[in-house]
Amino acid sequence: MLNPDAGLPGAEIISIGNEVLSGLIQDGNSRFLGERLLSLGVAVQRATVVGDDAESITQALDEALKRVDWVVITGGLGTTHDDITKPVLAGYFHSGYRHDAAVAAGLEQFYKDRGRAVPEAVLGQCEVPETAAVLINEKGTAPGLLFEKDGKRVAALPGVPLEMRHLFEKYLVPMLAPLAGLRVSHRILHTTGVTEAGLWEKVGPPGTLKDVVTVASLPSHLGVRIRLSAAGASDTEVNEKLNAAEAWFRQRAGGWIYATDTDTLENTVGRLLIEKKLTLAVAESCTGGLIGHRITGVPGSSEYFLEGAVTYSNAAKAARLGVPVEMLKRFGAVSEETARTMAEGIRRSAAANIGLAVTGIAGPGGGSGEKPVGLTFIALADAAGTVCERFIFHQDRRRNKERAAQAALDLLRLRLTDGGR
Amino acid sequence: MLNPDAGLPGAEIISIGNEVLSGLIQDGNSRFLGERLLSLGVAVQRATVVGDDAESITQALDEALKRVDWVVITGGLGTTHDDITKPVLAGYFHSGYRHDAAVAAGLEQFYKDRGRAVPEAVLGQCEVPETAAVLINEKGTAPGLLFEKDGKRVAALPGVPLEMRHLFEKYLVPMLAPLAGLRVSHRILHTTGVTEAGLWEKVGPPGTLKDVVTVASLPSHLGVRIRLSAAGASDTEVNEKLNAAEAWFRQRAGGWIYATDTDTLENTVGRLLIEKKLTLAVAESCTGGLIGHRITGVPGSSEYFLEGAVTYSNAAKAARLGVPVEMLKRFGAVSEETARTMAEGIRRSAAANIGLAVTGIAGPGGGSGEKPVGLTFIALADAAGTVCERFIFHQDRRRNKERAAQAALDLLRLRLTDGGR
């Protein structure tokens, strides 16, 4: 991980709201601000959530201003009795109030666009602390506020994510960007089919790579994400560092990397299918439609995806895919034989270039000593023949389904890239 | 919102990790803890995120212990060089280390179950601070730690959500529950098929309900959640309040409520199908398998779900569902005629009691003036005949798919409850 203290100017975030503390809503604002500030070269050193009470807010702000020069507050700027950020900050900065004509005009327009008069309760938004600069909110009714004192800055933004982001980008980014001497950027390499330990065993110690980028790895049940972070004097310098680090990883573990940054496994598979002019059909049992759902999440997937058969019952496996009843009886629905026949069956009946099939025991019921919960067979049939892989996923129903879909899409990806790991 | 200061004992949460501060991962642990602690009658008064450095952790802990008697720390207990929670706490509590045989035995078993020896790097987990009670982690390799001093308690839990929740429920809940004089509980009513404004217009002002419970409503693209919160001297009193409030809402808006608390629409539909001894098959176009995926997310769904046909191409619609090529030409794949024929076709070919079908334009491409992106037809065929509903969802591809699946499952629910809204 990039060390937040590594020469970057620091900031703190304070989120205000009982509804966040009590878990009613997730504080996505702090995550957004953490990521966005770091991309500007400003490191968030602490993020605090406090309730809607004056003492907690004042105390948190006081502590934060002892540590950093910039504090971004979100929430508590609405018009209910819970919303006390404005009076608390006015008190903290010993400020009276003034009427702001620009806010009043904005509210007028906001409600006019919606065919209504400004509600009584909202009119109070026009009264703002005298010592604050007003951040005009075009996406909602609560203006942001910016206080400045002794070289320190405190910005208060509304808690509604859309409005918070709008004011942050419009007013704070231009002020924050010049603060940082350094540019900072990240690249994420998404891998699957390998554990975190297995991945690091294969690539070896980062060695001199650590002088160029900082590396974090984050495992989940679908794979390991590697995040590379680099800092430099210019975007070009930062990109060169990230490219070098990505190349280092690809040389050692390229086969496991299925996408970078916000790209996805289904996008990668879609691009490969288009490139090779191949069509696909899938037969799903335990995944229940998840593979089809992921594939069709990609715009334009109708170009290569013909159809899916969610053959949950044995009757459907027999009728739709031609799996012989004799085979289901002898080997079971969850077997290599059935998986292979499913893949070949959907390929033939859909007249697709590739047939992909999954059958497994998602759990929690249905397992046995010989065939435990999580046992899954994934088969792929194409012009070159049929392959099948066997997995045991050690998780709950939802995660077993998700891992099976991920493994199936990855088997397809590897087949389309000639399988080299 | 329920005021966290309303006479409840307080706690604080500290999350440790640069990856949270920099926005790489969302801190879902604090949300879980905030909600769960409040349900035990313990109010979280502050939640803090700090980076992986000793000074920040020590400072945050020091401050928290001045304000409250209970601090729950998450993160930083793994085995990489970033993970410093254990040594920082050992230092803070002036503690040496000891070897813990129970942790060692647990690790042995954990890796044995996975057919491997305990990796060298993980062995360090057996060394624990002398003054801490050890919380044995059955879901992972990092034990939790519990320190006690001067009547104050500090629990450190791993950051992996599954492991954190496991240790919290097993060790901390029994200690925290007796603390609270007041019981607090919530109930969530999940609605769909109505906007937030429409819902409140229908139910009218909460009136005297506000003396009994606090009410929050949270809209999303899949529906509106209503959260009722009540406090009282006993679980019985709290439950009576919640039951009364739920009854109030059901009387006014019962048809829109599809589930309560952690229950889901697909669970509700599954229960109704079992109750009525009916089987289901689905035909999906724009949703691409999502409906099947949701239905099969329910354990035991094989009892009523026979199969799904993801007929993405027109050829599949014709071959699998018997939609006449002439009909596809004349009315288009996204039309009421096609949707009805799809529902009837899958019902017939799967020999199911109910056939459910969806066809629509998920976007971003494929729309026209006459048939805009988001246009979706949902049809249901059963012994009583075929019904079809038309929707226009005004969102992006992902949300259009999700709204279509939600609306389809809700149409099925209403049909199974005799449709009364």
3-state class (DSSP) for residue B368: coil
Identify whether the C-beta of residue B269 lies closer than 8 Å to the C-beta of residue B212.
Answer: no
Amino acid code (one letter) for A41: G
Map residue A417 onto helix, strand or coil.
coil
Contact A156, A145 (CB under 8 A): yes
User: How many C-beta neighbours within 10 Å does residue B177 have?
Assistant: 13
Q: How far apart are CA A44 and CA B51, in angstroms?
A: 9
Element (H, E) at A307: strand A305-311
Average pLDDT, chain A: 92
- Report the C-alpha gap between A285 and A345 in whole angstroms: 13
Q: Do domains B10-179 and B183-260 have the same CATH topology?
A: no
Nearest Cα of chain A lies from the Cα of B11 at a distance, in angstroms, of 11
pLDDT of res. A39:
82
For residue B178, pLDDT over 60 is answered with: yes
DSSP lists the bridge partners of residue A155 as A72, A146
pLDDT band at A86, cuts 50/70/90? very high
Percent of chain B with pLDDT over 90: 77
Question: B405 and A297 in contact (C-beta within 8 Å)?
Answer: no
Point out the residue among B4, B33, B282 whose CB comes nearest to the CB of A51: B4
Query: Where in chain A are the domains?
Result: 10-179, 183-260, 265-416
Closest CB from B50, B295, B363 relative to A288? B295
Task: Tell me, yes or no, if A74 comes closer than 8 A to chain B by beta carbon.
Answer: no
Cα dihedral A195/B105/B78/B69 (nearest 10): 140
Per-residue pLDDT tens over the stretch B250-286: 999 999 999 999 999 999 999 999 999 999 999 999 9
Chain B nearest C-alpha distance from A304 (Å): 9
Among 3.40.190.10, 3.90.950.20, 3.30.230.10, 3.40.50.300, name the CATH number for the domain at A265-416.
Answer: 3.90.950.20
Q: What residues of chain B lie within 8 A of the CB of A289, using their CB? A: 284, 288-293, 296, 308, 310
Nearest to B216 among A19, A56, A197 (CB): A19
Note the pLDDT of residue B419. Answer: 53
Contacts of A49 in chain B (CB under 8 A): 30, 46-48
B230 forms beta bridges with B185
What fold characterizes domain B269-416?
Maf protein (3.90.950)
- What is the complex's ipTM, to 2 decimals? 0.81
For residue B7, what pLDDT is reported? 62
* CB-CB under 8 Å, B50 with A49: no
Query: How many other C-beta atoms are found inside a 10 Å radius of the C-beta of residue A217?
Result: 15
Q: Which two tokens stand for residue B28?
A: 């879902």
Token code pair at residue B68: 């409250």
Nearest neighbour of B4 by CB, restricted to A18, A47, A295: A18
- Which residues on A lie below 8 Å from B113 (Cβ)? 394
pLDDT tens digits, A369-397: 999 999 999 999 999 999 999 999 988 99
B345: tokens are: 């076709």
Chain A CB contacts of B299 below 8 Å:
363-365, 397
Q: In chain A, how many H helices and how many E strands?
A: 16, 17
> How does pLDDT run across B42-56, given as a tens digit for each residue?
889 999 999 999 999
Evaluate whether B382 touches B415 at the Cβ level (below 8 Å).
yes
Is B311 within 8 Å of A307 when comparing Cβ atoms? yes
Contact status, residue A276 vs residue A394, Cβ threshold 8 Å: no
Residue B272 in tokens:
């109704």
**pLDDT level of residue A6 (50, 70, 90 thresholds):** low
Q: Specify the length of chain A in residues.
A: 421
At residue B40 the predicted structure's pLDDT band, cuts being 50, 70 and 90, is: confident
Rg (CA), chain B: 27
State the amino acid at position B362 in one-letter form.
A
Strand order in the sheet with B183-191: B214-220, B223-232, B183-191, B257-260
- The answer for A 351-370 residues in CB contact with B (under 8 A) is 351, 362-365
Q: In chain B, what residues touch A305 (CB-CB under 8 Å)?
A: 288, 312-313
Distance CA B117, CA A375 (A): 22
Mean pLDDT computed over B357-370: 94
Q: What is the pTM of this model?
A: 0.82
CB interface of A with B, residues 293-312, below 8 Å: 293, 295-297, 299-302, 305-312
CA distance B401 to chain A (A): 8
Judged by a CB distance cut-off of 8 A, whether residue A51 touches chain B is: yes
Q: What is the Cβ-side half-sphere exposure of residue A280, based on CA atoms within 13 angstroms?
A: 28
| Mean pLDDT in residue range B137-156 | 95
The pLDDT of A390-409, averaged and rounded, is 96
Model confidence over A242-259: pLDDT tens digits?
Answer: 999 999 999 999 999 999
Query: Which residue on chain B is closest to A289 by alpha carbon?
Result: B289
pLDDT score, position B298: 98
* pLDDT score of B207: 80
- Could B21 and A4 be called an inter-chain contact, meaning their C-beta atoms sit closer than 8 Å? yes
Please answer whether residues B367 and B396 qualify as being in contact, where contact means their C-beta atoms are separated by less than 8 angstroms. no
Provide the pLDDT confidence category of residue A4 given band limits of 50, 70 and 90.
Answer: very low
Give per-residue pLDDT as tens, A322-337.
Answer: 999 999 999 999 999 9
Taking only Cα atoms into account, the Rg of chain A, rounded to an integer number of angstroms, comes to: 28
Q: Which residues contact B206 (CB under 8 A, 6 or more apart)?
A: B215
Please determine, for residue B374, whether its predicted confidence score (pLDDT) is greater than 70: yes
To the nearest whole percent, how much of chain A has pLDDT over 70? 98
What is the rounded average pLDDT of the residues A211-227? 89
SS3 content of chain A, % helix, strand, coil (to 5): 45, 25, 30
Would the pLDDT of B318 be above 50?
Answer: yes
- d(CA A348, CA A273) in angstroms, rounded, equals 18
Span A266-309, pLDDT tens digits: 999 999 999 999 999 999 999 999 999 999 999 999 999 999 99
pLDDT for B6 beyond 90: no
B161 touches chain A (CB under 8 A): no
Interchain contact B219–A (C-beta under 8 A): no
Residue A282 in tokens: 């899938």
d(CA B248, CA B230): 14
Among chain B residues, the shortest Cα distance to A82 is held by B1
Is the Cβ–Cβ distance between B388 and B375 less than 8 Å?
no
Residue A99: count other Cβ atoms within 10 Å of its Cβ: 9
| Nearest residue of chain B to residue A311 (CA atoms) | B307
Burial bucket for residue B72 (CB in 10 Å: 0-12, 13-18, 19+): buried
Question: A138 versus A180: which is more confidently predicted?
Answer: A138
Strand, helix or coil at B311? Answer: strand
The CATH code for residues B183-260 is: 3.30.70.2860
Per residue in A180-199, pLDDT (tens digit) is 777 788 899 999 999 888 89
Give mean pLDDT, residues A350-359: 98
Task: Measure the CA–CA gap between B406 and A417, rounded to whole angstroms.
Answer: 36
Any CB–CB contact under 8 A between B237 and chain A? no
Q: Cα separation of B290 and A163, whole Å? A: 32
State the Cα–Cα distance between residues A418 and A302, nearest whole angstrom: 24
Q: What is the mean pLDDT of chain B?
A: 92
**Assigned CATH for B10-179:** 3.40.980.10
List all residues of chain B from 178 to 217 with a beta carbon under 8 Å from chain A: 216
Structure tokens that stand for A43 in this block: 């490191």
Task: State the average pLDDT over residues A47-65.
Answer: 95
B32 touches A: beta carbon within 8 Å: yes
pLDDT (0 to 100) of residue B4: 40
In the predicted structure, residue B421 carries a pLDDT above the cut 50: no
Percent of chain B with pLDDT over 70: 98
